[in-house]
Amino acid sequence: MKIFPLLSLALLCLSCTAQQDALDDGRFFSFDNQSADWIIVNYWAEWCAPCRKEIPELNELNDFQMKDGNVIKVYGVNFDLLGSEDLKRVAEKMNIKFPNFLADPSFMSSSSRPEVLPTTFLFDGSGELIKEFLGPQTKEDLLETISKELDFSS
């Protein structure tokens, strides 16, 4: 009988983590269930002019396949943590083509929330944080950083 409360608590903790990593398209994110070699996580807000400027660059990088076959996946986090319906409406209005987390992702818990927008995090496919970028990024900037990382690891 003592195992039941522990098992219940463990299941509750697992469901909290899964909820935290819920995406606006109904899926749940984990580094184990995706096949990208590079993950870009971008914090953005509707009121942030540099964010709006950066969105088309990030749209181009989502599901992008590099010449060497490496795949890049982009995910967003709305800084204002809008509810699901508002997030969908704003993302559509801003023409955001990549999925967005419904809350701060659990794997970001070791980092503090960004104080500057946009802020972009680059992870390798295993979940290791490679670099944090402050301010707007271009597709070329991000691809150059990834290429340097590939050269460095070779």
| Domain range list for the chain | 3-153
- Token pair, residue 125, equals 């496919």
For 57-69, b where at least 16 C-beta lie within 10 A, e where not — what string?
A: bbbbbbebeeeee
For residue 47, is pLDDT > 70?
yes
Which CATH superfamily groups domain 3-153? Glutaredoxin (3.40.30.10)
Integer Cα distance of 88 and 105 in angstroms: 17
What is the tens place of the pLDDT at every residue in 96-150?
999 999 999 999 877 778 999 999 999 999 999 999 999 999 999 999 999 999 8
Mean pLDDT along residues 34-50: 96
The model carries a pTM of 0.85
pLDDT above 90 covers what percent of the chain?
77
When pLDDT is cut at 50, 70 and 90, the band that residue 154 belongs to is: low
